[in-house]
A and B are shown apart, each in its own frame.
Chain A
Amino acid sequence: MLAYVGKRIAIAIPTVLIVSLFVFSLQHLLPGDPILVLAGEERDPAVIEFLREKYRLNDPIPVQYLAWLGNVLQGDLGISWRTNQPVLELIGQKLPVTIQLAVMAMIIAMLIGIPAGILSAVKKGTVIDYTANVIALSGLSIPNFWLGILLILLVSVHLGWLPASGYESPFVDPVRSLQTMIMPAFVLGTALAATLMRHTRSAMLGVLQADYVRTARAKGLRERRVVLRHAFRNGLLPVVTLSALLFGELLAGAVLTEQIFTIPGFGKLIVDAVFNRDYAVVQGVVLCTAVGFIVMNLIADVLYALLNPRIREGL
C-alpha cells in the first residue's frame, strides 16, 4: 500500500510543477509590460526600476521562475496589490467560508443524488427512472447563477423566508449562518446532485446484475435488504471517490454562487482580484485550487485502493 501511495505522489509532483509553470506564465500573457500595470498611473521611472529589481524582471525567464517557485515553496505567494496583505493570508481568511459552503453543498448533493440514483436504478425503465433522469439532466443544464437568481426572487423577495445575501460565521451565530448559507449551498449542490445521481444509477445498475445480488435474492431476502445491504455497499465505491473528485467543480461553482449571494469567500476573492487587476491574488488562487485538486485526486485514489482490495493487491 505504501508503495502505491509513493507511486501516486511521484506522479503528482511533476503535475504540480507544471501547474506552477503555467501559473507563473500567466503574468506573461498580460498585454504590454506587467510592471507598467503594477507601477500605477504615475509610472515613476524609479518605481519601475525598483519593481523590476524586486520581481527580478531583469533576469532571464527561467531564473525568474526558479526565484518565484522558491518563494512559493516557502509560502510566499506575493502581496495583494489592493490590500497590501500577503496572498496566502488572504486565501487563509477566505477559504473557511468556501469550505463551509462546499461541505453544505456536498451534503445536500449526496442527500438528493444518491437516493435518487438508487431509486432510478431499482426502478429502471419506469416513469420514476425517466423522471429522475430528466430532472438530473435539467439540473446539469441550469446555470447555477440563474437558479440562484430565481431562488432569491422566490424565497427572499416573494416569501421573505431567507436573507438574499450576506454571511455569518457559524462560530458567531450558527442559526444566522445556516439561514444565510442554506440557499447558496442548495444552488451549488444541485448540479452535483445531478452528477451524483447519474453515477450512482450507473454503478447500481452494474451491481444489481451481479451474481451475489442474485444469490441474495434467491435466498429469499427482502428486496429492500438486497438493495441497501448487498448492492449499495459495493455500488457506493465509485461514488465515494467521485465525491472527492467533485471538489474542483465545487470550487468553480462557488465562484458564481458567492458572487450572487455576496458571500466573502474564495470565489469572490478571485473575481474581485480580477477586477482590481490584483494579479498576484489571481495567481495564488489558481495555484491553491490546482494543488488542492491534485491532493484531493491523490486522496481519492488512495481511498479507492483502500476500499477495493482488488486494486490494492494488483499493485
Chain B
Amino acid sequence: MTLAAEIDRADEALPQKSRVWAKLRRNRTAMVGFVLVVFFVAIAVLAPVLPIADPTATSWTDVRSPPSAQYWFGTDEIGRDVFSRMIWGARASLLAGVISVAIAVAIGLPVGLIAGYFGGWIDQVISRVTDALLSTPFLILAIALAAFLGPSLTNAMIAIGLSAMPIFVRLTRGQVLAVKTEDYVEGARAIGLSHPAIITRYILPNVLAPILVQSTLTIATAIIAEASLSFLGLGQQPPAPSWGSMLNVAKNFLTQAPWMAWAPGTAIFLVVLGFNLLGDGLRDALDPRSD
C-alpha cells in the first residue's frame, strides 16, 4: 500500500457523522438530553418574539403574587413576571455556558496541541502551568477572577472560560500523545509535510471527538458556575434576568413567596441535566468500542 493510500485510510477511519448520530438516536437517555437542550436553546433564541411580559417591568400592585392565569409562575419581590424572567434568564445561562466553553477550547486546544506535539521543555512548562491552574478549584478560581475583574456577565464568562481552560489543555495533550505515534502521522512527517499541516490535517481531526464530549459536559458545569457566580452577585447584574440572581433574591422570600425559587432552580437543573445526558450519550456514540 502506498503512503498516500495509507493516509487516506486513516481519514476513512474517522468517526462517521451519520453512524454517530444513529447511535445517539438509539440511546434514549441521550435523546432526552438532546430534547432538553434543544428546548432551552429554542426559548433562549425566541425570547424576544414570544408573547410574554417584559422581564424587567415592575408592578407594585402585583408584588409577590402567587402563580395564576395571568402570572403562570407568580411574580417576584417587585412585581416582575417570574415566567418571563425565567425565559429570558435562559439567554444569560446558555450564553455563559457556550461562550465560556468557547474561550476554554479556543485557548486550551491549541496550547494542548503544541504541548503534546512538540513535547520537550515546551510541554514541561505548559504541563506545570496546567497543573497549577487545575490545583485551584474551578469555582474558587472563577470567584477570584470575577472579584478582581469586576462583577458582570462578561467577566463571569471570561473567568469561567479561563478556569475551564486547563481541562482542555490536558485532554488535548493526552490525545495528541496517543495519536502522534500512529503510522499515518509518521508517514506524513516522512513525506516532508510541515508541522502546521500535520497538526491541522492529521492530528486535529483525531482529537476532536473527546473534545466535543468534554465541551458538552463542561457547558453543564459552566452553566452551574455562571448561576453560582450570579447567585453570589458576581455574574449577571440586576435588573437583567439570570437564574442564579433570581435564586439569590428568592432565598430571602422563602416563607412569603416560595414560587420565586421553583422556576429558576428547575430550569438550571433541567438544562444541566440535558447537557450531562447528551454528553454521556455522545461519549458512548463516539467510542468505537461500543459498536
Contact = CB atoms under 8 A, between A and B. Distances in A.
B227 A143 contact: yes
Contacts of A279: 147-148
A153 B258 contact: yes
A13 to B, nearest CB: 10
A252 B232 contact: no
Interface of B: 29, 128-129, 131-133, 135-141, 143-150, 220, 224, 227-228, 231-234, 247, 250-251, 254-255, 258, 261, 264-265, 268-269, 272-273, 276-277, 280
6 contacts: A14-B128, A22-B136, A142-B269, A146-B265, A274-B146, A286-B144
B140 A138 contact: no
Nearest to B268: A143
Contacts of A252: 137-140
A157 B135 contact: no
Query: By DSSP majority rule, is chain A's interface helix, strand, loop, or mixed?
Result: helix
B143 A271 contact: yes
Given A15-B128, A146-B265, A153-B254, A256 B137 contact: no
B141 A286 contact: yes
A184 to B, nearest CB: 14
Interface string A265-285: 000001101110001001101
A294 B135 contact: yes
Contacts of B224: 143
Given A141-B220, A271-B232, A275-B233, A286 B133 contact: no
Nearest to A266: B140
Interface residues of A, number: 50
B220 A152 contact: no
Interface stretch (A26-34, A65-73, A203-211): A26-34
Contacts of B276: 137, 140-141
Residue from A16, A138, A274, A294 whose CB has the most chain B CB atoms within 10 Å: A274
B135 A290 contact: yes
Contact of B254 (A15, A157, A282, A293): A157
B254 A152 contact: yes
Contact of A22 (B133, B234, B251): B133
Contacts of B268: 143, 146
A15 B261 contact: no
Contacts of A242: none
Contacts of B145: 26, 29
Given A18-B129, A146-B268, A293-B135, A259 B232 contact: yes
A134 B29 CA distance: 9
A31 B143 CA distance: 16
A221 interface: no
Contacts of A248: 135-137
Interface string A152-189: 11000100000000000000000000000000000000
B136 A150 contact: no
Given A14-B128, A260-B251, A274-B232, 19 more contacts: A19-B132, A22-B132, A26-B144, A137-B277, A141-B220, A141-B272, A142-B272, A149-B265, A152-B251, A157-B258, A249-B137, A251-B137, A255-B143, A256-B231, A274-B234, A282-B148, A285-B144, A290-B132, A293-B135
B231 A30 contact: no
A241 to B, nearest CB: 16
A270 B145 CA distance: 12
Nearest to A191: B224
A191 to B, nearest CB: 10
A297 interface: yes
Contacts of A145: 227-228, 231, 247
A29 B149 contact: yes
A137 B224 CA distance: 14
Contact of B140 (A11, A18, A255, A294): A255
Interface string A82-93: 000000000000
Contacts of B250: 149
Residue from A27, A256, A279 whose CB has the most chain B CB atoms within 10 Å: A256
Contacts of A157: 254-255, 258
A31 B139 contact: no
B278 to A, nearest CB: 11
A293 B233 contact: no
Contacts of A141: 220, 269, 272-273, 276
